[in-house]
């Protein structure tokens, strides 16, 4: 049962990263969009990578 829960969370993480990438593209942040898309693609191999990249991008934007 925990495997199903983990898979669901991983899929949710990938989808939320793709949504963040779409928003970045819509706002004209091409580099961020590409980085988030790549992180979402790699998230199937490295769970949580997309979420980590998304949080890091938000932190960098805050610090600017």
**Which pLDDT score, from 0 to 100, does residue 1 have?**
52
Nearest to 43 by CA among 53, 34, 31, 33: 53
Nearest to 13 by CA among 47, 37, 64, 36: 47
Measured in Å, how far apart are the chain's first and last C-alpha atoms? 43
Residue-wise pLDDT for 9-59, tens only, equals 889 999 999 999 999 999 999 999 999 999 999 998 998 899 999 999 999
Round the CA-based radius of gyration of the chain to a whole number and report it.
Answer: 12
**Which pLDDT score, from 0 to 100, does residue 38 have?**
97
**Which pLDDT score, from 0 to 100, does residue 50 have?**
93
SS3 50: helix
């Amino acid at each position: 049962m925990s495997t199903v829960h983990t898979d669901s969370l991983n899929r949710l993480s990938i989808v939320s990263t793709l949504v963040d990438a779409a928003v970045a593209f819509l706002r004209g942040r091409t580099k961020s969009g590409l980085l988030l898309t790549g992180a979402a693609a790699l998230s199937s191999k490295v769970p949580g990578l997309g979420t980590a990249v998304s949080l890091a991008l938000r932190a960098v934007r805050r610090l600017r």
